[in-house]
Amino acid sequence: MNEQIYTDLVALSPIRQLASNAEIATDALELLDNESDNMAGWTAEVTDYNATSKVKIEKKLIPVHELFAQPMVTQKLLDDPRIDIEKWLAEKLAEVFLAKENEAFINGDGVGKPLGILTAAKSADKNKLETIKLSTKDHFTADDLIKLFYSLKEKYAATAKFLLSRSALQMVRSLKDTNNRYLWQPRLEEKASDLLLGAEVVLSTDMPNLGAGSMPIVYGNFKRGYYVVDRHAVRILRDPYTEKPFVKFYSTKKLGGGVVDFDALKILQLAN
């Protein structure tokens, strides 16, 4: 059942597909961030490595948090041999966990839940995602998209992707040139991903719609920028007592999420 739940989560979660995923056995994923400029260099036979290489190491922690769900069924349904309760429960838990996970990966405040991508752009800390702020409140232009595209450093650009809401995608598809021709066309090949400025486009219902101060588009290398962490399998406790005549399946899973490279992701933000 746990394997089916995890398979469904990965297949349906845009962030799990975009980001790096890790399974751990502790309470947090611990990463060491070294300044790459000081990690390598040219050397001669008598070079003093300790004198020339002053590596600054920063530790980053992504803690896991507990997510729960409590689907209920009747005892009569459980007694029916024609009903595959295990399949029903796996599908229901995947649906509930998916909704909560996706919301947290985008907008989570990091308190008892993962730290979301957009929250990392609003932080007062020096480590936060850069936003490309516009002067308009309800729309963006092709020039704004190009500015966002080239704000990303070259080392992240090869596998960078766009994450956006449906309303932002609608705005993108409505952009026209001076000859009234649409600037962007989706790919017509079966199962082919749509491309924008040569980068893949991924939709998320949890990305905000267009509006004053909103952040409708994220662009960058999500594999290097964001980590999703899972601790262990889903745990299920069958409870036929507290909600009689229903049987409750109290289910928990532990996961976390957070930004690990603040240069890998850029965000388009509309004016307030």
pLDDT band at 189 (very low <50, low <70, confident <90, very high): low
Instruction: Check residue 89 and give its pLDDT.
Output: 87
Cross-strand bridge partners of residue 199: 196
Cβ atoms of residues 205 and 156 within 8 Å: no
Instruction: Check residue 118 and give its pLDDT.
Output: 93
pLDDT band at 202 (very low <50, low <70, confident <90, very high): very high
What is the dotted CATH code of the domain comprising 2-34+58-269? 3.90.1690.10
Q: pLDDT: is 34 or 146 the higher one?
A: 146
Tokens found for residue 266: 């850029």
For the chain, what are the domain ranges?
2-34+58-269
**Predicted confidence (pLDDT) at residue 50 exceeds the cutoff of 80:** no
Cβ atoms of residues 216 and 209 within 8 Å: yes
pLDDT band at 204 (very low <50, low <70, confident <90, very high): very high
**Predicted confidence (pLDDT) at residue 47 exceeds the cutoff of 80:** no
Q: pLDDT: is 211 or 186 the higher one?
A: 211
Tokens found for residue 18: 């975009």
DSSP state string for 171-190: HHHH-B-TTS-BS-----ST
Cα dist. 163→19, 153, 158, 205, 215 in Å? 11, 17, 16, 10, 11
pLDDT band at 179 (very low <50, low <70, confident <90, very high): confident
Average pLDDT, the chain: 86
Instruction: Check residue 8 and give its pLDDT.
Output: 85
pLDDT band at 160 (very low <50, low <70, confident <90, very high): very high
pTM: 0.84
DSSP state string for 94-159: HHHHHHHHHHHHHH-BSSSSPBPTTHHHH-SSSS--EEEE-S-SS---HHHHHHHHHTS-HHHHTT
Q: What does the pLDDT look like over 74-126, one tens digit per residue?
A: 888 888 888 888 888 888 889 999 999 999 999 999 899 999 999 998 877 77
**Predicted confidence (pLDDT) at residue 127 exceeds the cutoff of 90:** no
Instruction: Check residue 9 and give its pLDDT.
Output: 86
Among the residue ranges 4-8, 43-47, 259-263, the one predicted with the least confidence is: 43-47
